[in-house]
Each structure stands twice: as structure tokens, then as C-alpha cells.
Amino acid sequence: MTQRGRATRPTGPTGRPRRPEGPRGGERAPRGDLAARRARLREVVEPVVTAAGYDLEDLSVSRAGRRHVVRVIVDTDGGVNLDAVADVSRAISAALDAAEEAGGDLVAGEYQLEVSSPGVDRPLTLPRHWRRNVARLVRVTVRAALPGPRAEQGGDRQVTGRILAADDERVALETETGRAEFTYAELGPGRVQVEFTRLDEIDEADELDGTDGPGDAGDTDDFDDDDVEDEER
């Protein structure tokens, strides 16, 4: 679920075209500059996202030729639909406009705002990520146990299982050997496994589709500029 191009800003607050700032002629902006822009943007964006009832999962700034792309990823329990993405995008755009009018450009030159929900390729790193993916199949690295009476032999191992439950302390997985529980300290980032068919969701055996799977659909815009450079996360 992606809404793109909602805040392309070809002009400044006065309506006159913005004068290009920073590196010219396709030069890359110093990575520190992108990090500083990201920090300033987060100060503006995060309160807006929180007030709307969502979590700010990520904010990144990258360069695409002579302009910047500001990508914002939001999520909440139950997921984020396209209407919610549109509402949050408008609220963020208005907040960025107000901040720039009050204190100058947050992003030098033209920029495009992209707001979306997390895709299935985003790693599960926080308890809320695991909770929001209950019933999905995941693959995760279980770290080698620390020394102690319950320590197991061997190093890190890969485990694939379906998330049965998750809270602030641990996650329960249904694996091929049965139910297993892990604390988050024992786990690396989880990766959702795309399942193209789920037998318990098929009504008729002869209507097997095989094309639907968990994921986000969204519009995409063609860039006239060069490839995206220097993305800072």
C-alpha cells in the first residue's frame, strides 16, 4: 500500500521555483548531510504519525538526480489501508509545509514524499513486528546459547516456523518439531516467508489460484532523473 508523489515540491513557500542547493551536476551529497536531513525530518514527521495513531517504522532520505525522495513507512496493529496511507500522507505534507515556512527548507531543492506500509521483505526486529505477523510463516536465526545450565551445543541455527503468539518478552513458533518459544534476545531479525497458497483459505480444490500472497500493492512513478543515490536509513 503505497502512495507516491503526493508532496512533490517544485516551488518554495512563495510559489517561486526553488534555487538548487547543495551539490550540483549530479554530485553526490555527503552522507552526513543526508543523515542530518533525516534527523530534522523525523522531528517533524514522527509527532504527526504518532498523533494519527500509527508507528513510524522508518524514514529515509535519498537523492534521485537533482531531487530528493523522502520515504516514510508507517504501521499499526491490524495494518494500514490505502485510505489511511492517503490521510497520513496529507498530514505529513502539511506538517512539512508548515515547518519549512517557519524555519526554512528541511530538504534542499525539490523533493518527493512517499508514504507506505511495511512490505513483507522488511525484517521483524521489534516485539510489535512479531505481534503484527501472527499466523505468518517466518525464517529466523536462533543465536547460539550463552553459557549456563540450559545452554545447547552448537552455533547459530536457522529456524522456520509459523508465529503462534508474541508479546513483549518472547515469541512462540510452530516448527516442524513442534511448538518452540524464544526470547527476543535469542533471535536475529525474522523474515516473513511468502506463501502463494494457503490450503486453509481455499474453498474449492479446483479453484487453486496460486497468485495471491502477503504483500503490499502500490503505484509506482517513473523517475526522469538518474538512479537513486546515497540512501541513508
In the predicted structure, residue 163 carries a pLDDT above the cut 50? yes
User: Dihedrals φ, ψ of 109, to 5°?
Assistant: 80, -160
Do 7 and 92 contact (CB within 8 A), yes or no?
Answer: yes
Please say if the pLDDT value at position 112 is more than 50.
yes
Percentage with pLDDT > 90 across the chain: 48
Task: Name the residue among 76, 121, 119 with its Cα closest to residue 216.
Answer: 119
Mean pLDDT, residues 26-55:
81
Contact 72, 4 (CB under 8 A): no
Angle at CA of residue 225, ends 219 and 229, nearest 5°: 90
User: From CA 67, how far away is CA 202, in angstroms rounded?
Assistant: 46
Residue 72: what residue type? Answer: V
Q: Report the half-sphere exposure of 179 (CA within 13 A, side-chain side).
A: 7
Q: Per CATH, which fold does 127-207 belong to?
A: SH3 type barrels. (2.30.30)
Mean pLDDT score of the chain: 75
Q: Could you tell me the pTM of the whole model?
A: 0.65
- Name the DSSP class of 185: G
What type of residue is 1?
M
What 8-state DSSP symbol labels residue 215? -
Q: Which of 94, 73, 67 is nearest to 1 (CA)?
A: 73
Q: Pick the most confident of 12-21, 144-153, 178-187.
A: 178-187
Query: CA 148, CA 30: separation in Å to the nearest integer?
Result: 47
Displacement of CA 195 from its chain's centroid (Å): 20
Distances (CA, A) of 185 to 4, 169, 229: 36, 9, 34
Q: Lowest-pLDDT range, 15-19, 58-62, 130-134, 211-215?
A: 15-19
Grid cell of 41 as nine digits: 525530518
217, pLDDT greater than 50: no
Half-sphere exposure of 23 (CA within 13 A, CB side): 17
Confidence band for 154, pLDDT divided at 50, 70 and 90: low
Average pLDDT over residues 190-219: 54
Q: What is the mean pLDDT of residues 96-115?
A: 86
Return the CATH number of the domain spanning residue range 2-118: 3.30.300.70
- Per-residue model confidence (pLDDT) at position 138: 97
Residue ranges covered by each domain of the chain: 2-118, 127-207
Report the distance separating Cα 48 and Cα 89, nearest Å.
10
d(CA 59, CA 8): 17
> Average of pLDDT values for 208-220?
40
Q: What mean pLDDT comes out for the span 122-142?
A: 95
